[in-house]
């Protein structure tokens, strides 16, 4: 079908295999862009345009949505967002794992793991509105939608984080969350595994339920544990749905620790127990290794741990903890203690579990990339092409249409990003043109900042942000709210 467009359009992509983002098989179609929207699709040979792009032999998909990022401050620091655009990502969700750049009032250094987002001096947004204004003054190449971090709220109102919040502090956090969502945030994230949030009681978390319910907002959670008691932690997360009918998204779903390998089916069974009308979902990254700050409770000889940064010993970045410990004639734990504060990659997941979780119908793709890390986990530069190339094409884990759905239509629906994630007339022209035969993640654990291959063009809101291997700093990203309204 083609739609009547009376005069010329800005660009037409001819003859690409178009994936709608809903999981349907591709169709060869022409797609026209006018302004920031998709103007038409079908046989567009009768339309006029000055910018003709040959898409034959290539795939056209909705721009990918990275639902799990820590790009809060990176968007302002490096608006080109090369690590994202070179993967075809056109929208990022910030504020995950309990840590957000807004609304934040730092009294001293950023507490662990808020320090993953940036330096103390970069935390300048005491309200979500201030953060939105800063983004809109200097937009990035990608769209952004923001969660409010529970650890950030705790740090705003509590002097000491290694205890539960008291009633006054809970009231203050509820007010800050309420205000931030009213200003445009999507909802709340927690990072209950981290020591600075772990002392929060179940009651402290559930106190946010009425605020989220009032705004029909989301709850995302890095579970209280991803180790032995992971099923109990899922029960705790699902209380938000059971008690308040709030949409719950479990962050980077996984079975951590060698003695939990093989338990992924139990995690998926937990979702099934919630019932088929449950709106709970999850995200995952496509690697059998995690990364965060160097956590003393996760130090083990069961698997390799690579140190990615260390404030007192920066020269140790890139080396394994075992090597460092043996050089220093210390135990692993003693060496890890000396390195603090530090970051690490933990090779502590089973490949089979990773695949089982990626293939789960509710799983969205989220990179969890750490842009400030001097030796980042390769997920920062490789997650999306790796799902399309390695897992879909090479391993046959799911069809290309399904792989794309997990990073477009499914994500937009879960985060209620209206008019995005689906190729359809009238939707925003967030688009990626790629080669299904050559798409490939090049970033490795050794050489982790290599851009992917096979991405030909990327558009964010109708503006080209990548042409062949050339980044274009179009700064055409928008701040998105979950009602689909953009803050212009």
Pattern 81-120, Cu ion, x by CB under 5 A:
---------------xx-----------------------
Joined tokens for residue 421: 């994630």
Q: Which residues pair with 147 in a beta bridge?
A: 187
Phi/psi region, residue 396 (left: phi>0; alpha: psi -120 to 50; beta: rest), is: left
d(CA 305, CA 320): 6
Q: Which is nearer to Cu ion, 22 or 97 (CB)?
A: 97
150 binds Zn ion (CB under 5 A): no
Tell me the backbone φ, ψ of residue 174, rounded to 5 degrees. -60, -40
Q: Which is nearer to Cu ion, 236 or 368 (CB)?
A: 368
Q: Of 301, 469, 282, give the one whose Cα is nearest residue 361.
A: 282
Nearest approach in angstroms of CB 68 to Zn ion is: 8
Q: Which is nearer to Cu ion, 122 or 368 (CB)?
A: 368
> What residue 236 binds from Cu ion, Zn ion, none (CB within 5 to 8 A, per partner kind)?
none
> What residue 281 binds from Cu ion, Zn ion, none (CB within 5 to 8 A, per partner kind)?
none
Nearest approach in angstroms of CB 151 to Zn ion is: 11
Q: With contacts defined by CB under 5 A, name the span among 101-109, 219-227, 332-340, 393-401 that binds Zn ion.
A: 219-227
Q: Of 400, 316, 296, 422, give the one whose Cα is nearest residue 58.
A: 400
Q: Which is nearer to Cu ion, 69 or 476 (CB)?
A: 69
Nearest approach in angstroms of CB 39 to Zn ion is: 39
Pattern 457-476, Cu ion, x by CB under 5 A:
--------------------
Task: Give the DSSP letter of residue 452.
Answer: P
Q: How many residues does the chain have?
A: 488
Are the C-beta atoms of 186 and 147 separated by less than 8 Å? yes
Q: Of 84, 110, 190, 83, give the one whose Cα is nearest residue 147.
A: 190
d(CA 466, CA 476): 12
Q: Which is nearer to Zn ion, 365 or 422 (CB)?
A: 365
Of positions 222, 377, 393, 416, contacts Zn ion by CB under 5 A? 222
CB atoms within 10 A of CB 424: 15
Q: With contacts defined by CB under 5 A, name the span among 129-137, 205-213, 218-226, 462-470 that binds Zn ion.
A: 218-226
Q: Which is nearer to Zn ion, 149 or 451 (CB)?
A: 149
Q: With contacts defined by CB under 5 A, name the span among 25-33, 37-45, 110-118, 215-223 that binds Zn ion.
A: 215-223
# residues contacting Cu ion (CB under 5 A): 3
Quickly tell me which residue has 């947004």 as its tokens: 125
3-state SS, residue 351? helix
d(CA 302, CA 322): 11
Nearest approach in angstroms of CB 351 to Cu ion is: 21
Q: Which is nearer to Zn ion, 95 or 409 (CB)?
A: 95
368 binds Cu ion (CB under 5 A): yes
Q: Which is nearer to Cu ion, 26 or 96 (CB)?
A: 96
Q: Which is nearer to Zn ion, 60 or 101 (CB)?
A: 101
3-state SS, residue 93? strand
Quickly tell me which residue has 């200003």 as its tokens: 183
The CA dihedral of 396, 400, 402, 406, to the nearest 10 degrees, is 110
Q: With contacts defined by CB under 5 A, name the span among 228-236, 259-267, 324-332, 363-371 that binds Cu ion.
A: 363-371
Residues in Cβ contact with 361 at an 8 Å cutoff, skipping those fewer than 6 apart? none
Nearest approach in angstroms of CB 191 to Zn ion is: 6
Degrees to nearest 5, angle at CA 310 with 307 and 316: 60
d(CA 199, CA 205): 11
3-state SS, residue 439? coil
Q: Which is nearer to Cu ion, 99 or 321 (CB)?
A: 99
* Alpha carbon 369 to its chain's center: 8
Q: Of 459, 402, 454, give the one whose Cα is nearest residue 427.
A: 459
Pattern 435-474, Zn ion, x by CB under 5 A:
----------------------------------------
Q: With contacts defined by CB under 5 A, name the span among 236-244, 337-345, 362-370, 372-380 that binds Cu ion.
A: 362-370
Q: At 218, which helix (H) or strand (E)?
A: strand 218-222
Pattern 70-109, Zn ion, x by CB under 5 A:
---------------------------x------------
d(CA 132, CA 245): 28
Nearest approach in angstroms of CB 294 to Zn ion is: 14
Q: Which is nearer to Cu ion, 96 or 442 (CB)?
A: 96
> What residue 71 binds from Cu ion, Zn ion, none (CB within 5 to 8 A, per partner kind)?
none
> What residue 225 binds from Zn ion, Cu ion, none (CB within 5 to 8 A, per partner kind)?
none
Which residues of the chain form contacts with Cu ion (CB under 5 A)? 96-97, 368
Which residues of the chain form contacts with Zn ion (CB under 5 A)? 97, 222
């Amino acid at each position: 079908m083609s739609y009547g467009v009376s005069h010329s359009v800005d660009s037409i992509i001819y003859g690409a295999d178009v994936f709608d983002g809903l999981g349907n098989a591709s169709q060869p179609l022409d797609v026209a862009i006018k302004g920031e929207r998709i103007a038409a699709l079908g046989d567009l040979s009768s339309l006029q345009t000055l910018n003709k792009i040959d898409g034959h032999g290539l795939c056209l998909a909705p721009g990918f949505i990275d639902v799990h990022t820590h790009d809060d401050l990176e968007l302002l620091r490096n608006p080109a967002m090369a690590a994202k655009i070179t993967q075809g990502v056109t929208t990022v969700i910030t504020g995950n794992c309990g840590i957000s750049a807004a609304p934040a009032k730092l009294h001293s250094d950023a507490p662990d793991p808020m320090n993953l987002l940036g330096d103390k001096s970069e935390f300048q947004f005491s309200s979500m509105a201030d953060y939105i204004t800063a983004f809109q003054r200097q937009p990035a190449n990608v769209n952004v939608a923001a969660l409010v971090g529970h650890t950030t709220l705790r740090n705003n109102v509590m002097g000491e984080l290694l205890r539960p919040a008291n009633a006054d502090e809970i009231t203050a956090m509820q007010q800050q969350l309420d205000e931030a969502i009213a200003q445009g945030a999507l909802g709340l994230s927690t990072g209950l595994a981290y020591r600075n949030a772990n002392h929060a009681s179940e009651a402290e978390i559930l106190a946010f339920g009425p605020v989220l319910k009032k705004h029909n907002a989301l709850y995302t959670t890095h579970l209280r544990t991803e180790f032995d008691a992971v099923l109990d932690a899922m029960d705790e997360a699902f209380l938000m749905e059971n008690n308040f009918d709030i949409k719950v998204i479990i962050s980077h779903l996984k079975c951590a620790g060698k003695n939990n390998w093989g338990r992924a089916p139990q995690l998926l069974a937990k979702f099934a127990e919630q019932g088929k009308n449950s709106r709970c979902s999850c995200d995952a990254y496509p690697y059998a290794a995690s990364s965060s700050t160097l956590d003393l409770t996760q130090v083990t000889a069961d698997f390799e741990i690579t140190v990615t940064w260390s404030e007192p010993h920066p020269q140790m970045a890139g080396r394994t903890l075992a090597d460092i410990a043996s050089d220093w004639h210390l135990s692993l734990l003693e060496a890890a203690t000396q390195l603090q504060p530090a970051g690490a990659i933990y090779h502590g997941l089973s490949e089979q579990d990773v695949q089982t979780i990626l293939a789960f119908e509710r799983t969205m793709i989220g990179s969890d990339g750490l842009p400030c890390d001097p030796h980042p986990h390769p997920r920062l530069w490789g997650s999306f092409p790796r799902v399309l190339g390695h897992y879909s094409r090479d391993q046959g884990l799911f069809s290309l249409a399904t792989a794309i759905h997990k990073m477009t239509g499914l994500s937009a629906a879960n985060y209620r990003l209206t008019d995005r994630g689906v190729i359809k007339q009238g939707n925003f022209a967030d688009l990626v043109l790629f080669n299904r035969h050559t798409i490939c993640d090049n970033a490795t654990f050794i050489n982790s900042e290599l851009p992917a291959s096979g991405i030909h063009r990327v558009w964010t809101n109708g503006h080209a942000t990548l042409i062949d291997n050339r980044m274009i700093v179009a700064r055409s990203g928008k701040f998105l709210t979950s009602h689909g309204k953009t803050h212009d």
